[in-house]
Amino acid sequence: MISDYNRLGLSEYKNIYHYVTRDAGKFVVQETAYPLVDLNNLQNFKRTDTTFSWSDGEKAYKFTRGDSQIWQHFDSNKKDTLILNQFDVSIIDDPFDFLLKSYFHFIDTSDADKQKEDIVEIYLPLYSYRTKEVEEKSGLNSWNAAPKSKGSSTLRPLNEIYIPIPREFHKKFPDFFCPDIFEAERRQKDWKERKKTMLVTEEKPEVRFNLKLPNGKTIPGLVTQSNMKALQSGSNKEIDPETNKRYGQSALGQWLLVDVLGLKDRQVVTVDWLKMRGTDSVRLWRKKDDYSNIYIDFAPIGSFEAFMDGEKNQYEE
């Protein structure tokens, strides 16, 4: 839960849970405070052959052995619980007939398929597609590479990272980050050649976009490096309002490795470390014909490999 709170930018103590209870002939809509379990105040332990229950002074909980689930007790009489609405509900004589008719009506009128067609999504690995490892001095460990200035002892910025983009991905999906990633690559190479002869007057052509994080923040993103192999954050113009400095590669690393996955300062990332946290890929999506805003979130283990193999993602929302 803490990992999801950090990923989505939620407060640990101000969340509200909405739920519906059924009474005789009516539905009751309620809301209650939904804090994390206070591990420092556990009390009132009770155990049976099938359950184990306890309290933390605020909420009561129960663990059921048969299905390995933790249940929270809800009580509308508690001071942190409110009844928002209640309304009468008629009992349907033939619920199966109702559900069947409703389903076919939904199929006929829903624009869900159209909305899905308006979205383009892909997956990227958090590891090297070639070695199946997180490289020690590149990718998520770019901060661990040699200093940027030859002979310098200055370490690279903390949390400086990029997400690897395999060449195989670009070959299969050359139009996700821009209309044609290989044309963008050609323009960059041409710009570099002209720069050598001092014939450059325009800025370097780059594949840039707004990278939308699931916590509501937006950071500048770009595809860069040789073979367009890196998805990273960074901007020479935009200022991060939290640090009052220009966005760098650390902006993406701060969210991905620190805020969500709990990386310690200058801790080398490994595939095993990622798998312990239930992920080894990221999902990215955008609207069709809109290359300016790309959304990103974590994806379950194996998502990128399944995506490249053309398998339908079983975790797809």
Domain of residue 73 covers 13-91
Is the residue at 199 inside a domain? yes
Number of domains in the chain: 2
Q: Is the pTM of this model over 0.85?
A: no
Tell me what pLDDT residue 112 has: 55
- How many angstroms separate the Cα of 54 from the Cα of each of 16, 26, 39, 72, 220? 21, 31, 11, 10, 46
Is the residue at 114 inside a domain? no
Last residue of a domain, one of 74, 91, 108: 91
Tell me what pLDDT residue 243 has: 74
* SS3 (DSSP) at 55: strand
Give the other-Cβ count within 10 Å of 229's Cβ.
18
- Residue 72 shares a structural domain with residue 26: yes
- Residue 153 shares a structural domain with residue 200: yes
Last residue of a domain, one of 48, 73, 91: 91
- Residue 132 shares a structural domain with residue 245: yes
Tell me what pLDDT residue 314 has: 43
Is the residue at 8 inside a domain? no
The secondary structure of 200-259 as a DSSP string is --SPPP-EEEEEE-TTS-EEEEEEESGGG-EEEE--SS-EETTTTEE--THHHHIIIIII
Provide the pairing of β-strand 69-72 with 26-33: unpaired
Give the other-Cβ count within 10 Å of 191's Cβ.
16
Per-residue pLDDT reduced to its tens digit, 59-112: 999 999 888 999 999 888 888 899 999 999 888 888 888 887 887 777 666 555
- Residue 125 shares a structural domain with residue 85: no
Euclidean distance between CA atoms 157 and 247, whole angstroms: 12
- Residue 141 shares a structural domain with residue 65: no
Ranges of the chain with pLDDT below 50 = 313-317
- Residue 47 shares a structural domain with residue 181: no
Tell me what pLDDT residue 104 has: 74
Last residue of a domain, one of 91, 109, 133: 91
- Residue 82 shares a structural domain with residue 154: no
Q: Quickly tell me which residue has 């312990």 as its tokens.
A: 276
Tell me what pLDDT residue 114 has: 56
The answer to whether 257 touches 250, Cβ cutoff 8 Å, is no
